[in-house]
């Protein structure tokens, strides 16, 4: 006699279960080092705003679009300046800490074999890991932007925003542009996360994967500053990160942005495929 004939209610089986994904997100959010990373990301905009407020003038410009000079006239520029300042190092490190630990961390702790005997298909596990990396990319960028907006609105005047092209738009429209910038940078960082996920399948030491990804990012930035290597610049995964300034022009300049999105998509596809191929054939010893 079947369960249905006995009158026992049968819970419908989900076609796609999010339990593993939600469990992974809770695990990442509960780690102390990730919580410390969030504090660091959120603190940089605060430090920038306080320093400029106390000094009474703009800070020195960094590489990329000019935003620091506009902070004293409009608090929204704190968020933009913070994104520019954190993009070369802090944001990539935050992504590296998640992506590098994704597979190598499980192998190092001896939980990877357990996960694969639950059972969890390797492709599904890798997709869940990549999905958490994507969430981490969007979360990291959003934290910087929201922190910058909050402290900027508290310490500096707020009103219409003058774009890089010289035209002014209402504050609400400028916040929408900021949201587009966050989405663009998160997509660029997702490509970095795919590279990190691949590196994470090559080792059982998460710190090695994290350092390796951070080293690749720094190397790409350095190569991008050498004019004699201009022929290889378009192929660097960091080459179009600072193109987000084109989203603050009127009309929006799409040439470099489009190239940045294509570059991010290609790097994500290539290294995502390499990670899948490596992880699918990897011997799990721990």
The structure tokens listed for 278 are: 């490596």
Number of helices (H) and strands (E) in the chain: give both, helices first. 10, 2
Distance CA 223, CA 238 (A): 10
**45-54, 122-131, 192-201, 243-252: the lowest-pLDDT one:** 122-131
**How many CB atoms sit inside 10 A of residue 89's CB?**
13
Q: Which of 85, 95, 83 is nearest to 190 (CA)?
A: 95
Model pLDDT, residue 69: 85
**Residue position matching structure tokens 């660091």:** 40
Write the pLDDT tens digit of every residue in 137-164. Answer: 999 999 999 999 999 999 999 999 999 8
C-alpha distances in Å from residue 3, one per residue of 6, 8, 11, 13, 24 = 5, 6, 11, 15, 33
Q: Which of 47, 123, 108, 107 is nearest to 284 (CA)?
A: 107
- Read out DSSP for 224-277? HT-GGGTTTGGGSTTTTGGGGGGGGSSSPP-HHHHHHHHHHHHHHHHHHHHHHH
The structure tokens listed for 238 are: 């960091």
Model pLDDT, residue 1: 44
Q: Is there a contact between 116 and 283 (Cβ–Cβ < 8 Å)?
A: no
pTM: 0.88
126-130-133-135 Cα dihedral, nearest 10 degrees: -120
Average pLDDT value for the chain: 87
The structure tokens listed for 38 are: 């969030």
The structure tokens listed for 204 are: 């059982």
Q: Which of residues 267 and 63 earns the better pLDDT score?
A: 267
Largest CA distance in the chain: 81
Q: With bands split at pLDDT 50, 70 and 90, how would you rate the model's confidence at 117? A: low
When mean pLDDT is compared over 9-23, 59-73, 115-129, 138-152, the highest value belongs to 138-152
Is 161 strand, coil or helix?
Answer: strand
* Domain spans of the chain, in order of start: 19-280
C-alpha distances in Å from residue 203, one per residue of 106, 133, 198, 283 = 11, 18, 10, 11
Write the pLDDT tens digit of every residue in 227-238. Answer: 999 999 999 999
């Amino acid at each position: 006699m079947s369960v249905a004939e006995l009158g026992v209610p049968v819970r419908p089986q989900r076609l796609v279960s999010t339990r593993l994904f939600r469990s992974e997100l809770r695990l990442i959010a509960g780690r102390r080092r990730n919580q410390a990373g969030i504090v660091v990301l959120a603190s940089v905009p605060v430090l920038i705003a306080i320093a400029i407020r106390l000094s009474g003038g703009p800070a020195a410009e960094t590489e990329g679009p000019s935003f620091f000079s506009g902070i004293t006239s409009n608090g929204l520029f704190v968020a933009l300046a913070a994104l520019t300042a954190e993009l070369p190092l802090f944001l990539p490190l935050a992504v590296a800490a998640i992506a590098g630990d994704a597979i190598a961390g499980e192998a190092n702790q001896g939980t990877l074999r357990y996960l694969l005997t639950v059972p969890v298909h390797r492709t599904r596990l890798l997709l869940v890991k990549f999905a958490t990396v994507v969430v981490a990319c969007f979360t990291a960028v959003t934290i910087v932007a929201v922190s910058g907006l909050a402290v900027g609105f508290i310490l500096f005047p707020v009103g219409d925003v003058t774009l890089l092209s010289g035209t002014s738009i209402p504050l609400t429209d400028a916040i929408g542009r900021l949201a587009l910038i966050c989405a663009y940078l998160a997509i660029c960082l997702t490509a970095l996360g795919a590279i990190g996920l691949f590196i994470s399948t090559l080792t059982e030491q998460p710190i090695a994967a994290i350092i390796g990804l951070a080293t690749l990012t720094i190397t790409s930035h350095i190569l991008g500053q050498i004019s004699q290597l201009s022929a290889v610049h378009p192929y660097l995964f960091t080459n179009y990160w600072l193109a987000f300034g084109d989203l603050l022009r009127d009309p929006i300049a799409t040439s470099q942005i489009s190239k940045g999105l294509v570059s991010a998509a290609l790097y994500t596809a290539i290294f995502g495929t390499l990670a899948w191929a490596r992880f699918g054939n990897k011997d799990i010893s721990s």
